[in-house]
């Protein structure tokens, strides 16, 4: 188990890398001259820089380009699409799918995160005190996170199947009438959200658990000497001391959840109608989900998603900075 503390423990030095800057000018740098070592540094970073330009910047630029032109499948191959400015964006905002997708995205994301976090935190606290088999059980909790999404999504789809699903069969034993989880507009979003919550619990558990490990045990001992009960300790010690880790966990959860396509697409393809369509699914459907690909609006929706992601990216950075400062 030596490697886990090393890999996790050294992580704070990502920022530490920047922390070494002040020391550098005084050291060997002055003797060697900055240019030589900078060339070496650039040389080692070169594959990454080339990679980022070719396989990140270029596809993203193509995506912007798609959203500003009117691309049909023929124009795609011939490359003579008409420039339409922001028309695609206007169409997207005016589309009847837009309000539905916005609402679904918000509900899907917020509900997923609230439950993932609450359940993950509860389990992390539960696993904090070690008991027999706790290590093994905690490891098993990782399984849902490691499975390919298509595997877990199709399993959930079959479990929630209206006629033969185990969920309806169990509910039926309690007298609940058959629920058309995936095919009724009332429950489709709920169904994919449940599956997504299940998928996210391991991630929240692992991060919050390792956050808890960093709270010194004597704080709790002191508290219990003062007569603080378990609930009181949770509220006055665990929650406040876990705040930075919680913030990052929730933020990462937001970013991941906004991106989700696979789960929803495999379970409901965003349907029935638009009932479980989020922005990401909408984009996927326009571009690849129907027989007739419509890349330009899809790219426009995608670019809106990127803007949202960027906002959260800056938030993430702010949070990290603040954590470094503290």
| CA gap 280, 262 in Å, rounded | 10
| CA gap 194, 321 in Å, rounded | 34
As beta bridge partners, residue 83 has 69
Q: Which of residues 223 and 250 has its CB atom nearest to other proteins in the complex?
A: 250
Segment near other proteins (CB under 8 A); pick from 84-92, 140-148, 181-189, 233-241: 140-148
Q: Minimum Å distance from CB 237 to other proteins?
A: 16
Under 8 Å between Cβ of 71 and 295: yes
Segment near other proteins (CB under 8 A); pick from 93-101, 105-113, 231-239, 257-265: 257-265
The footprint of other proteins on residues 206-225 (CB under 8 A) is 206-207, 210-211, 214
239 is an interface residue for other proteins by CB under 8 A: no
Under 8 Å between Cβ of 128 and 186: no
Nearest Cα residue to 199 out of 137, 262, 248, 242: 262
Q: What number of other Cβ atoms are within 10 A of residue 283's Cβ?
A: 25
Q: Minimum Å distance from CB 150 to other proteins?
A: 5
Question: What is the pattern of x (binds other proteins, CB under 8 A) and - over residues 170-209?
Answer: ---x------------------------x--xxx--xx--
The footprint of other proteins on residues 288-307 (CB under 8 A) is 288, 295, 298-299, 302-303, 305-306
Q: Minimum Å distance from CB 98 to other proteins?
A: 17
The footprint of other proteins on residues 50-69 (CB under 8 A) is 51-52, 55-56, 58-63, 65-66
């Amino acid at each position: 188990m030596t490697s886990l503390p090393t890999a996790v423990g050294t992580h704070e030095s990502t920022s530490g890398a920047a922390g070494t800057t002040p020391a550098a000018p005084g050291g060997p740098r002055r003797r060697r001259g900055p240019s030589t070592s900078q060339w070496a540094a650039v040389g080692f970073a070169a594959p990454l820089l080339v990679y980022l330009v070719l396989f990140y910047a270029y596809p993203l630029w193509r995506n912007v380009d798609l959203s500003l032109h009117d691309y049909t499948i023929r124009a795609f191959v011939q490359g003579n699409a008409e420039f339409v400015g922001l028309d695609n964006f206007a169409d997207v905002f005016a589309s009847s799918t837009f309000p539905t997708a916005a609402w679904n995205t918000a509900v899907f994301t917020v509900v997923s995160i609230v439950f993932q976090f609450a359940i993950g935190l509860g389990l992390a606290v539960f696993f904090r005190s070690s008991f027999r088999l706790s290590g093994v059980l905690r490891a098993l909790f990782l399984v849902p996170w490691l499975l390919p999404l298509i595997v877990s999504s199709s399993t959930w789809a079959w479990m929630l199947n209206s006629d033969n699903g185990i969920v309806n069969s169990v509910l039926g034993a309690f007298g609940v009438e058959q629920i058309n989880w995936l095919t009724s507009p009332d429950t489709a979003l709920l169904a994919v959200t449940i599956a997504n919550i299940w998928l996210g619990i391991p991630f929240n558990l692992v991060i919050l658990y390792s956050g808890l490990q960093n709270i010194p045990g004597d704080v709790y001992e002191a508290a219990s000497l003062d007569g603080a009960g378990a609930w009181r300790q949770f509220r006055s010690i665990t929650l406040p001391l876990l705040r930075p880790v919680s913030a990052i966990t929730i933020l990462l959860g937001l970013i991941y959840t906004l991106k989700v396509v696979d789960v929803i697409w495999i379970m409901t393809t965003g349907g029935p109608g638009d009932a479980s369509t989020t922005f990401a699914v909408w984009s996927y459907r326009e571009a690849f989900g129907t027989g007739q690909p419509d890349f330009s609006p899809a790219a426009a929706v995608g670019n809106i998603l990127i803007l949202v992601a960027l906002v959260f990216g800056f938030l993430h950075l702010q949070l990290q900075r603040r954590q470094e400062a503290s």
